[in-house]
Amino acid sequence: MAGTGKWISGGLIGLLGFFGLFAASRAVDSAFYVVGWIIFFGSLGYIFGQVVSHYNKRDAAIARNRGH
C-alpha cells in the first residue's frame, strides 16, 4: 500500500495530459493549442520522471544490498 499515492497521482496526471491533448485538438485559437500541448508534454515528463525515480531507487537498493 505504500506506493498507492504514486499510482493515483500518475493516473491523474495521465488524465490531465489526455485533457491537454483534447484541448489542443479542439482549439479555436493558438493559445489553447499551445497550452494543450504544454500540458501534455509536462504530464508526459512527470510520468517519465516517476518511472526514472522508481528505477533509480531500486538500483540504489540493489547496490546497497551488494555492499558497494
Residue 2 has pLDDT above 70, yes or no: no
Q: Which three cell numbers stand for residue 17?
A: 495530459
Residue 1 has pLDDT above 60, yes or no: no
Average pLDDT over residues 4-11: 91
pLDDT digits over 31-59, tens only?
A: 999 999 999 999 999 999 999 999 999 99
> Phi-psi bin for 18: left (phi > 0), alpha (psi -120 to 50), beta?
alpha
Contact predicate 6/15, CB 8 Å? no
